[in-house]
Amino acid sequence: MTRSRTPETPGAVPDGPRHSRETRTTEGRMFTVTGGDWDDLVSEVGGEPAGADGGFESDERIIVNMGPQHPSTHGVLRLILEIEGETVTQARSVIGYLHTGIEKSCEFRNWTQGVTFLTRADYLSPAFNEAVYCMAVEKLLGIEVPRRAQVIRVLLMELTRISSHLVALATGGMELGALTGMTAGFREREEALHLMEFLTGLRMNMAFIRPGGVAQELPEGYRERVQAFLEVMRSRLPEYDKLLTGQPIWQGRTEGIGVLPLEACMQLGVTGPVLRSAGLPWDLRKTMPYSGYEEYDFEVPTATEADCFARFRLRLAEIHESLRIMEQALAKLAEPGPVMVTDRKIGWPAQLSLGSDGMGNSLEYIRQIMGESMESLIHHFKLVTEGFAVPAGQVYTAVESPRGELGCQLVSDGGTRPFRVHLRDPSFVNLQSMPAMSEGGMIADVVAAVASIDPVMGGVDR
């Protein structure tokens, strides 16, 4: 924690164990407080008590670094807060601690391999990263994905939305002291991740959605597993209303906190639950349908309070709607069909059979490829190693991720690798609203405001 005063302020700064040496900056003298009695310190640097409220009449300010390792900053986010007493007068965010170079790395891999990078950007919503990227590739190729693959994508995206919202509820509860809500949220998230592992083979960063469709058909018994998940979630969701929604302490910590009205959301480009908490029912699944979402019956929950409590309630309501969509997707999957485009020049080999070691291809599969023709074997090798060429051009696609509009801009120069990949990540854009939510409020309310934004730093820094 640092304290500063303007240069014209009288009073010498004593040397000793309580202070570091002064540093002159463009904003005045800065020095670090390392200990000592607070009242003695204030009197030494020139502050005078203002009265019974415990404040001090002084031109000093206190600058607090919250993060980047702070557990209340959703990972490696650094917040620089300027405070007077307990009131935040200025708030700034510092990002870049989790920079991974994911977008640049995609330029050195073929179009299908790019999925394995982008799925790790917003690591709480991997299915959405995969889907928006593959939709952009398919738009450049001018191909249409099989209906069954579209339904599987919807199923995986809504399962991911539930998992992501559960993390938002759990971590938000943890940061505000509602530890039982935290344990409940992660308990239900495990159910979602277990189902994701059964359906795709991995809990997170699945790379299951690929250009032209999905990696492979769903495993046997998927209908029973999905139905069991729906029943478990519907039986446990009412507990959140008992633990949090109707809890007076939870309401006191979130109602009227972090208010961001509609006009501020529009000016800052905020989307997702933060925007819908201000009353605008903007959801790309409804306003700009994709992947067949126009065929599903669901509502877009909204609120008008535009505070942390409204965002919490919206995410809980969206979980209920996602369960409705998953149930409808399960019914649509009763119709058989392909899960990858039939064009062998584009469709990544999907019907792979694992070997006895659980890693390589089975001997039968290798015999099948080698037995067809030498040309077939060469094509299989070149498709996996070099990939397919995509016509030159650029496109932009967008999906409604758990945090808002997730967009992907792709630029192709006609080769087998992207020329440029860029994500419009909602966490990055929504994080701009943190100062507007926090300034003028208490320092403790900054934690609630950041939690209600639900930023994922992997998506911010990518």
The whole-angstrom separation of Cα 143 and Cα 347 is 11
Question: What torsion, rounded to 10 degrees, do the Cα atoms 127, 323, 190, 402 define?
Answer: 40
CA distances from 98 to 69, 95, 118 (A): 11, 8, 15
Classify residue 126: in a domain, yes or no: yes
Q: What's the predicted TM-score (pTM) here?
A: 0.82
Residues 81 and 47 in one domain: yes
Classify residue 378: in a domain, yes or no: no
Residues 168 and 212 in one domain: yes
Vertex 124, ends 119 and 127: CA angle to 5°?
Answer: 45
Residues 62 and 167 in one domain: no
Residues 60 and 206 in one domain: no
Last residue of a domain, one of 39, 63, 94: 94
Residues 419 and 307 in one domain: yes
Pairing status of strand 48-49 against strand 56-57: antiparallel
Residues 6+ apart with CB under 8 A from 335: 147, 148
Q: How many domains does the chain have?
A: 2
Vertex 300, ends 294 and 301: CA angle to 5°?
Answer: 170
Residues 49 and 107 in one domain: no
Last residue of a domain, one of 40, 70, 94: 94
Residues 275 and 331 in one domain: yes
Contact, 415 vs 408, CB < 8 A? Answer: no
Residues 6+ apart with CB under 8 A from 363: 355
Classify residue 274: in a domain, yes or no: yes
Contact, 322 vs 293, CB < 8 A? Answer: no
Residues 152 and 84 in one domain: no
Parent domain of 409: 102-343+388-461
Give the residue among 224, 227, 218 at the shortest CA–CA distance from 339.
218
Burial class (CB in 10 A: 0-12, 13-18, 19+), 44: middle
Last residue of a domain, one of 65, 94, 123: 94
Residues 187 and 299 in one domain: yes
> pLDDT tens string for the chain (462 positions)?
444 443 444 344 444 333 344 566 665 665 554 545 545 545 555 545 444 444 444 456 788 888 776 555 566 888 888 888 888 888 888 888 888 899 999 999 999 999 999 999 989 999 999 999 999 999 999 999 999 999 999 999 999 999 999 999 998 888 888 888 888 899 999 999 999 999 998 999 999 999 999 988 899 999 999 999 999 999 999 988 888 888 888 888 899 998 998 989 998 999 999 999 999 999 999 999 999 999 999 999 999 999 999 999 999 999 999 999 999 999 999 999 999 898 878 887 655 555 555 555 666 766 776 777 777 778 777 888 888 999 999 999 999 999 999 999 999 999 999 999 999 999 999 999 998 998 888 888 899 999 999 899 888 888
Contact, 31 vs 23, CB < 8 A? Answer: yes
CA distances from 384 to 109, 349, 359 (A): 11, 8, 16
Residues 400 and 329 in one domain: yes
Classify residue 374: in a domain, yes or no: no
Contact, 83 vs 64, CB < 8 A? Answer: yes
Contact, 46 vs 58, CB < 8 A? Answer: yes
CATH code for the domain of 317:
1.10.645.10
Residues 163 and 267 in one domain: yes
